[in-house]
Chains A and B, each alone.
Chain A
Amino acid sequence: MTIRARFRPLALTALLALAATGCSSGSGGGSDAGGTLTVWLAVDAQESWPELVQSTNDRFAKAHPGVKVEVQYQQWTTKNQKLDAVLAGKNVPDVVEMGNSETTNYIVNGAFSALDPAGYEQSDAWLPALADACRANGKTYCVPYYVGARVGIYRTDYLAEAGVTGAPKTYPELLSALDRLKATYGAKDPNFSALYLPGRYWYAAMAFVKDAGGEIAVKDGDRWKASLSSPKSVAGLTEWKRLIDTYYVGDRAKDNGDQPGVVAQGRVGVFYGNTWEADSAADPLSGGDPKLKDKFATFPFPGPSGKLLPPFLGGSTLAVPAKSTRKQLAADWIKLFTDRQSQQALIAANTLPNNTAQLAEVAAGGINGPAAQAAATGGWMTPFAPGWTSVEKSNVLPEMLERIANGKASVQDATAEADKRIDEVINER
Chain B
Amino acid sequence: MSADRRGRRRHRLLPYLLIGPTVLALVLVLGYPLVDMVVLAFQDMTREQLFSGSSPPWAGLDQFRRILGDGFFWTVVARTVVFTAVCVALTVLCGLFTAQLMHRVSPWVRATIAGMLVTVWAMPVMVASSIFRWLFDADYGVVNWLLSRLPGVEMSRHNWFTDPWQGFAVIVAVVVWGSLPFAAITLRAALAQVPPELEESAVLDGARPFQIMRHITLPTIRPVLVMVTTLSAIWDFGVFNQVWMMRGGQPEREYYLLGVYSFIESFAVNRYSVGAAIALVTVVLLLAGSVVHLRQMFRTGEVE
Asked if residues B268 and A390 are in contact (CB atoms below 8 Å), the reply is yes
Bound-complex Cα distance A6 to B51 (A): 32
Asked if residues A394 and B264 are in contact (CB atoms below 8 Å), the reply is yes
Complex interface residues of chain A between 238 and 294 (CB less than 8 A to chain B): 250-254, 257, 262
Asked if residues A10 and B51 are in contact (CB atoms below 8 Å), the reply is no
Asked if residues A9 and B52 are in contact (CB atoms below 8 Å), the reply is no
Q: Is A369 an interface residue (CB 8 A)?
A: no
Render B19-41 as a binary contact track against A, CB cut-off 8 A, 1 for contact.
00110111011000000000000
Asked if residues A395 and B250 are in contact (CB atoms below 8 Å), the reply is yes
Q: Is B222 an interface residue (CB 8 A)?
A: no
Asked if residues A109 and B25 are in contact (CB atoms below 8 Å), the reply is no
Cβ distance A253 to chain B, nearest Cβ, rounded Å:
5
Cβ distance B255 to chain A, nearest Cβ, rounded Å:
10
Query: Contacts A9-B25, A254-B138, A406-B162: A394 and B51 contacting too (C-beta < 8 A)?
Result: no
Asked if residues A105 and B47 are in contact (CB atoms below 8 Å), the reply is yes
Cβ distance B99 to chain A, nearest Cβ, rounded Å:
22
Q: Is A87 an interface residue (CB 8 A)?
A: yes
Q: Is B139 an interface residue (CB 8 A)?
A: yes
Q: Is B161 an interface residue (CB 8 A)?
A: yes
- Partner of A84 from the list B28, B47, B253 (CB cut-off 8 Å) is B47
- Partner of B24 from the list A10, A88, A398 (CB cut-off 8 Å) is A10
Q: Looking across the interface, which residue of chain B has its beta carbon closest to that of A405?
A: B162
Asked if residues A88 and B22 are in contact (CB atoms below 8 Å), the reply is no
Cβ distance A4 to chain B, nearest Cβ, rounded Å:
10
Chain A residues positioned under 8 Å from B249 (CB to CB): 77
Interface size class of B (residues with CB under 8 A): 20 to 34
Q: Is A116 an interface residue (CB 8 A)?
A: no
Q: Is A428 an interface residue (CB 8 A)?
A: yes
Bound-complex Cα distance A254 to B161 (A): 10
Asked if residues B268 and A10 are in contact (CB atoms below 8 Å), the reply is no
Q: Is A399 an interface residue (CB 8 A)?
A: yes
Chain A residues positioned under 8 Å from B161 (CB to CB): 253
Identify the interface centre among B24, B47, B161, B269: most chain A CB within 10 Å of its CB.
B47
Complex interface residues of chain B between 265 and 293 (CB less than 8 A to chain A): 267-271
Chain A residues positioned under 8 Å from B139 (CB to CB): 250-251, 262
- Partner of B28 from the list A3, A10, A106, A191 (CB cut-off 8 Å) is A10
Complex interface residues of chain A between 346 and 394 (CB less than 8 A to chain B): 389-390, 393-394
Cβ distance B262 to chain A, nearest Cβ, rounded Å:
13
Q: Is B112 an interface residue (CB 8 A)?
A: no
Asked if residues B48 and A13 are in contact (CB atoms below 8 Å), the reply is no
- Partner of A428 from the list B248, B252, B271 (CB cut-off 8 Å) is B271
Chain A residues positioned under 8 Å from B50 (CB to CB): 84, 87-88, 109
Bound-complex Cα distance A399 to B250 (A): 10
- Partner of B268 from the list A87, A393, A429 (CB cut-off 8 Å) is A393
Bound-complex Cα distance A105 to B271 (A): 13
Chain A residues positioned under 8 Å from B24 (CB to CB): 10
Render B29-71 as a binary contact track against A, CB cut-off 8 A, 1 for contact.
1000000000000000011101111000000000000000000
Q: Looking across the interface, which residue of chain A has its beta carbon closest to that of B251?
A: A395
Can you offer 5 A-B residue contacts whose CB atoms are under 8 A? A10-B24, A393-B267, A402-B162, A428-B270, A429-B47
Contacts beyond the supplied A10-B25, A88-B50, A323-B51: 15 A-B pairs with Cβ under 8 Å: A81-B267, A87-B51, A109-B51, A110-B51, A111-B51, A253-B138, A253-B161, A257-B248, A262-B139, A390-B268, A390-B269, A395-B252, A402-B252, A428-B269, A429-B47
Interface residues of B (CB under 8 A from A): 21-22, 24-26, 28-29, 46-48, 50-53, 138-139, 157, 159, 161-162, 248-253, 264, 267-271
Interface residues of A (CB under 8 A from B): 3, 6-7, 9-10, 13, 77, 81, 84, 87-88, 105-106, 109-111, 191, 250-254, 257, 262, 322-323, 389-390, 393-395, 398-399, 402, 406, 425, 428-429
